[in-house]
Structure 1
């Protein structure tokens, strides 16, 4: 990836919004260019240990990583991070160690903005605006995951987690990861996904799921429409 394209990709990923870099200051892009380091991580390797320090802001170029916590029997998957997404931003703001581990589910290529550069980065208003924009979008996604876990039946859970994990019409995750995200058994999830498939909302592929009918899937997820308060006269 050419240098300018790589830096723009990093800025867009941190902000959580494609096209952010088009309006970014030249100084911000130059700052990122000076400090980004490309890394390759093998499947199963940890990028950050549980309750440990993350080595910086990671920007995923290829592959998938999982944010996990251990329970008595297994590891719970809290969230996944795929191409064009980033993690490690919270540590930049508060300096706290992470309450979860981060490991590569597949082979991963990533850009790293090292933690040693954080004191310099925090003094740059344009960079902190980038981080806050990204955290805002990640907060919304976290609520989407919570809504999926708290749903009252498995079919609703499945529909909601597919919407939360969708990337451009594709859920790039195997069913075992989706089951871990919801904290349910894989056979139970298979039944729920089968009902969504039979309804024509999704197509099941190897290690990924295609969303064919977004409106239908939202209906299955029972997501209410947003009403403009100015027109709601009840």
Structure 2
């Protein structure tokens, strides 16, 4: 499973723990638009509780009572998701849906509970939860304190590191569409496009069909006053 070996969280697991996690999982295929789980579902579902994305993409979103959807993030291959609801014993707080054909590894709640009896694995899960909480707090802070352009830049920088993947390595192409990015930020598509055009004129990015290409990461970070990551 090379895609998992390239993920920072999974790569940090000792070999014994990584093998135990993979041994506890079963393969599951999702067609485009198929739900992995829905907001309000129990984490004890027989289809799995903790999931690793082997290929494709998973969209995490919240559906508000008025019918509007708020996209939280797009989960790329190599990431594991779903642990919070299992740990809480609470219903799912958001919906996970396949973006295109997607393959996942599914670990049942019972097997996840057995893995959590292993101190090293449970510590790794705690680290993952803490890392994602830090990222969430950062996004909340951006929403409250930063200009729209700065918020866009900071999200683009996060996406360049795989968003929840939180990789040290950067990629130059972000595959999220403008519609998806606008929904992640809670702004309109016209507002997003207007600010993106500012970055285009500065030479920081280029807009391609269905994706955004980062031409100059330093210039992009300077546009949003983002502190470069330490390697």
1:224: how far off? Answer: 5.2
Structure 2, gaps ≥5 residues long: 163-169
1:203: how far off? Answer: 2.0
1:20 matched residue in structure 2: 12
List per-residue Cα deviations over 1:16-40 (Å, max 9, x = no partner): 436314xx042x2332232121221
Which residue of the other structure, out of 41, 47, 50, is the alignment partner of 2:39? Answer: 50
1:62 matched residue in structure 2: 55
Contact 1:42 1:107 in 2 (8 A): yes
2:165 matched residue in structure 1: none
Structure 1: distance between partners of 2:109 and 2:213 = 37
TM-score where L is the length of structure 2: 0.82
- Greater C-alpha Rg: 1
Aligned residues: 215
Structure 2: distance between partners of 1:94 and 1:162 = 31
1:229 matched residue in structure 2: none
Structure 1, gaps ≥5 residues long: 1-5, 227-234
Cα pair distance change 1:174/1:17, threshold 3 Å: same
1:179: how far off? Answer: 0.4
List per-residue Cα deviations over 1:41-88 (Å, max 9, x = no partner): 112111111111243111112222122112324211122211122211
Matched, 1:206 2:205: no
4+ runs deviating over 4 angstroms: 8-13
TM-score where L is the length of structure 1: 0.81
Structure 1: distance between partners of 2:186 and 2:27 = 33
Structure 2: distance between partners of 1:43 and 1:92 = 25
Task: Please identify, of 178-187 and 197-206, the stretch whose mean Cα deviation from structure 2 is larger.
Answer: 197-206
Structure 2: distance between partners of 1:123 and 1:18 = 18
